[in-house]
Chain A
Amino acid sequence: MVTANSELAYNSKIEGDVVVTTADAAINWVRNNSMWPMPMGLACCAIELMATASSRFDIARFGAEVMRFSPRQSDCMIVAGTVTYKMATAVRRIYDQMASPKWVIAMGACASSGGMYRSYATLQGVDRIIPVDVYVSGCPPRPEALLDALMKLQGKVKRERSASKLLSA
């Protein structure tokens, strides 16, 4: 009876120096614990994003303190703040420049749905231009909520079939 084991368990006494696991588990484990965000910090949520990166709500525990402003070097785009129509083209361009695999966290009400800015200038949700993986509600979401979103994203990545995507593409 063989069940798909997504856990990476290692007992050196039994396995010695060899770890036997699925490719998916190994690849997803690596991706999860070094999820480098691309902070698309636009408005007030950017301040909470910075607070999450600071010493009280350390995002470095999750391996994600490397806030790379370069899209080529980042895995996850955190859209933090209101996306206006003027900014939307820049956001889409930067998303296109990110190397795959890439994920998107829409942080806050404004990024998820336009928030309280139902007006002529605000994009009503960043999912109109880029595909979003996790939505975080709040205005602004507490840093704990953002960390919860990061953990949900990690859960999502854990269930992906990365090996087949890598080897087939």
Chain B
Amino acid sequence: MATDFSFPDAAAKAATMPKEFEPEKMSLSMGPSHPSTHGVLRIQFELDGEVVTKADPVLGYLHRGDEKIAENMTYNQFVPYTDRLDYLAPLANNMAYAIAVERLANLQVPARCQAIRVLTAEMARVSAHLMGLGAFGIDVGAWSVFMYCFEEREKLYTLFEELTGARFTTSYARIGGLSRDVPEGWTKKVEAFCDQFLPILEEILGMLTRNKIFLDRTVGVGVISKEDAISYGLTGPNLRGSGVSTDLRKDRPYSGYEQYEFDVPIGSKGDCYDRYLCRGEEMKQSVRIIRQVIKNFPGGDWYAKDARKIFAPPKEKILTSMEELINNFMIVTEGPQMPAGEVYFEAENPKGILGFYIVSKGGGVPWRMKIRSPSFCNLSILPKLCVGNMVSDVVSILGSLDFVMGECDR
């Protein structure tokens, strides 16, 4: 028989107790080094027994100064820093950044480049959601889910390594294209991965979706209303779990997303369980997109050939021809030459909407770069959401919000 906490009872009982027995509020600091805080988040709680009365998140434990660094780096030099923003889906960040900078020059990349970007972004989405699922599972106590998810992620890492050279932190995108083309036979391996992934995903989701313990811990916990979600600037599965159907891939398609057919899962109640279901379903839709991209994989160039001052010419030409040598020298030392102006581009990343606001005064180095991070905005609802819940519910809420501190603090 489950213990039934009925708070009206407790309040009535407390009212009859003499003043000396009234409990004091306890102040508890959760983090920054804590297994359930998904990185270095610190929450300063004020507790009344086990119930949270005030929650104040303290950020900045991973603030590395990315925006200041961006003012001192050329556009291509900043690409590795974008990897480390949401380090669970680096390929998606690379793509969002490259498209944002290309908007400065109104540069169109060829269809093959767009297709590769979409393909890698969707694989990164699967990888990030698997990690989110694994971390959520391990926070509520399901160790096996974590292990299964990581096994699948290792397969994705092998694919990324073959494509880019690194398991994650890929630094794959360049302004005007990519760092290299897709190797021979790689798309067949991706197809094989998709084929074996869907049954395993069903198995992983089957461990949690109708699991009584998981349901008890997540249904009705951390409910975010539609108005709250919009007012606090939530995006991604957190927003869609509350019933708002905003997905930039459908609303403002970029990089060729309009050619692919996929659904966007929308939740109804806005609790932790809905967000979990949204992420699970999004993974299946990502596999659907990946299959379509591979089926209609375009040939042609993988970088913008006419962007002379932006994308470096191929290596053979650099070593043999004078003009290409000078071009390469200018692009490497002074950076890709972008016109002056301001641009704001947002991409639908796994964690939410990642935006880049770039102010350029011309030249290869931006004047100001602001990174609109989805995790920063998603976490801002935490002070409101935690109040009235128990500390163990806070762990469920953190797991369901699925944030990354690298992105949040930049």
Is B a genuine binding partner of A?
yes
Nearest CB in chain A to that of B34: its residue: A69
Within A37-56, the residues touching B (CB, 8 Å) are 40-44, 46-48, 50-51, 54-56
Chain B residues with Cβ under 8 A from A51's Cβ?
150, 153-154, 157
- Residue among B34, B61, B88, B406 with max Cβ neighbours from chain A (10 Å): B61
Question: Could you tell me if A55 and B169 are in contact, using CB atoms closer than 8 angstroms?
Answer: no
Question: Could you tell me if B168 and A47 are in contact, using CB atoms closer than 8 angstroms?
Answer: yes
Given contact pairs A42-B39, A122-B64, A69 touches B33 in the complex (Cβ within 8 A): yes
Q: A84 near B: Cβ within 8 Å?
A: yes
Q: A140 near B: Cβ within 8 Å?
A: yes
Given contacts A40-B33, A54-B146, A140-B169, 20 further A-B contacts (CB under 8 A): A42-B62, A44-B84, A44-B87, A47-B88, A48-B167, A50-B150, A51-B157, A54-B151, A55-B147, A55-B151, A81-B62, A84-B60, A84-B61, A84-B62, A84-B64, A86-B60, A86-B63, A87-B62, A119-B68, A122-B64
Nearest CB in chain B to that of A114: its residue: B64
Q: B8 near A: Cβ within 8 Å?
A: no
A148–B64 CA distance with the chains assembled, in angstroms: 28
Q: How far is the CB of A92 from chain B (nearest CB, A)?
A: 12
Nearest CB in chain B to that of A139: its residue: B169
A138–B40 CA distance with the chains assembled, in angstroms: 21
- Binary CB contact string for chain B from 124 to 157 against chain A (1 if under 8 A, 0 otherwise): 0000000100000000000000110011011001
Chain B residues with Cβ under 8 A from A31's Cβ?
none
Q: A82 near B: Cβ within 8 Å?
A: yes
A44–B169 CA distance with the chains assembled, in angstroms: 8
Given contact pairs A40-B33, A55-B147, A117-B69, A82 touches B64 in the complex (Cβ within 8 A): yes
How many A-B pairs fall under 8 Å by CB? 84
Nearest CB in chain B to that of A71: its residue: B33
Question: Could you tell me if B32 and A55 are in contact, using CB atoms closer than 8 angstroms?
Answer: no
Q: How far is the CB of B70 from chain A (nearest CB, A)?
A: 11
A54–B147 CA distance with the chains assembled, in angstroms: 6
Question: Could you tell me if A55 and B150 are in contact, using CB atoms closer than 8 angstroms?
Answer: yes
- Binary CB contact string for chain A from 88 to 126 against chain B (1 if under 8 A, 0 otherwise): 001100100000000000000000000011011110000
Q: How far is the CB of A149 from chain B (nearest CB, A)?
A: 17
Question: Could you tell me if A142 and B61 are in contact, using CB atoms closer than 8 angstroms?
Answer: no
Listed A/B pairs (27) with beta-carbon separation below 8 Å = A42-B61, A42-B62, A43-B39, A43-B405, A43-B406, A44-B83, A44-B169, A44-B406, A54-B150, A55-B151, A56-B151, A69-B33, A82-B62, A84-B60, A84-B63, A84-B64, A86-B60, A86-B61, A90-B32, A90-B33, A91-B33, A117-B65, A119-B68, A122-B65, A139-B169, A140-B169, A142-B167
Within B154-172, the residues touching A (CB, 8 Å) are 154, 157, 167-169
Q: How far is the CB of A109 from chain B (nearest CB, A)?
A: 11
Question: Could you tell me if A42 and B40 are in contact, using CB atoms closer than 8 angstroms?
Answer: yes
Residue of B32, B62, B147 near A43 (CB, 8 A) is B62
Chain A residues with Cβ under 8 A from B147's Cβ?
54-55
Q: B57 near A: Cβ within 8 Å?
A: no
Residue of A46, A69, A90, A140 near B61 (CB, 8 A) is A90
Q: How far is the CB of A79 from chain B (nearest CB, A)?
A: 11
Given contact pairs A42-B39, A47-B168, A87-B40, A121 touches B87 in the complex (Cβ within 8 A): no
Q: B341 near A: Cβ within 8 Å?
A: no
Q: B35 near A: Cβ within 8 Å?
A: yes
Chain B residues with Cβ under 8 A from A44's Cβ?
83-84, 87, 168-169, 406
- Residue among A47, A122, A142 with max Cβ neighbours from chain B (10 Å): A47
Closest 9 CB pairs of A and B: A119-B65, A44-B87, A54-B150, A87-B61, A117-B64, A121-B65, A56-B154, A69-B35, A121-B63
